[in-house]
Amino acid sequence: MANIDIIENAPDAQIASFIETALRKALAESELPVEISVPGGSTPFPIMRELVKADLDWSRVTVWPGDDRVVAEDHEASNTGKIRALFEPVGAHVAALTVMEQVPHFALVWLGMGADGHVASLFPNTDPQVDDDAAIRRLTPDPLPPEAPFDRVTLTIPSLLDSDALMFVIRGDDKRAVFDAAAKGESDLPVARLLKAADQKVTCFT
C-alpha cells in the first residue's frame, strides 16, 4: 500500500513549485532526458501555466499525457494539443500517445481522478490490471462521459507505476471521499488498484 502524503488546500502555485522541485532534482541527478506524465481535464492546466514559468532546462524534459481522447490534436477535446501549446514554447518535448510508443521510466507521474475512481483513462468498466502486459491501451469508457464522448488512449497501471514518484490533485469533497476510501483499501476501483500496488511516495494535493 502506498505511503501517501496529503497536502490540504494547496494553491496552484504551490503544486507547480512541488513539480518544479522534482524536475530540478531529476535534472541534477542525471544527464539523461527527464520524463514526466501529466493529466488532462480542467484542473491541471492552470497549474501547468504556473509550472512553465520555472527557470529549468526544459530542452531535457519530455512531457507525456497520461491519457488522451482519440481526436486530432487541434480538436478542443485533445489533451495533447493543449499540453503541447504550453510546454513546447519553453523548449520541452511533448510525446503523443499511440499504442506503439515505447513508454519510459518517469521521474514523476501526476494524476487526476474522476468521481468514479478512474485514473488516466482507466475507467472502472475497463477493469485495469496491475500486471497488464501492455504499456498503452486504447479503451472505450462506459458510460461515455457526455462532455467528451470519445475513445481514449491511456497509460496502463504498470506504466504509471514505473515512476520515481506519484502525485494527485484531488479537488472536491466527493472525489476526496473516493480517494480516501481507495487509500484505505476499501474499494476495488482503478485508483485503489493503483495505490495498493504503489511502492513509491504518493503526494496528494487537495
Condensed to tens digits (0 to 9), the pLDDT of residues 59-104 reads: 999 999 999 999 999 999 999 999 999 999 999 999 998 877 799 9
- The percent of residues in the chain predicted with pLDDT above 90, rounded, is 91
Give the per-residue SS3 of the chain.
Answer: CCEEEEECCCCHHHHHHHHHHHHHHHHHHCCCCEEEEECCCCCHHHHHHHHCCCCCCHHHEEEEECEEECCCCCCCCCHHHHHHHHHHHHCCEECCCCCCCCCCCECEEEECCCCCCCECCECHHHCCCCCCCCCEEEECCCCCCCCCCCCEEEECHHHHHCECEEEEECCCHHHHHHHHHHHCCCCCCHHHHHHHHCCCEEEEEC
For position 1, what pLDDT does the model report? 62
Nearest to 168 by CA among 156, 178, 154: 178
For position 179, what pLDDT does the model report? 97
In the numeric block, which cell numbers belong to residue 193?
Answer: 488498484
- The topology under which CATH files domain 3-205 is Rossmann fold (3.40.50)
In this prediction the pTM is: 0.95
Condensed to tens digits (0 to 9), the pLDDT of residues 156-171 reads: 999 999 999 999 999 9
pLDDT exceeds 90 at position 185: yes
Condensed to tens digits (0 to 9), the pLDDT of residues 34-65 reads: 999 999 988 999 999 999 999 999 999 999 99
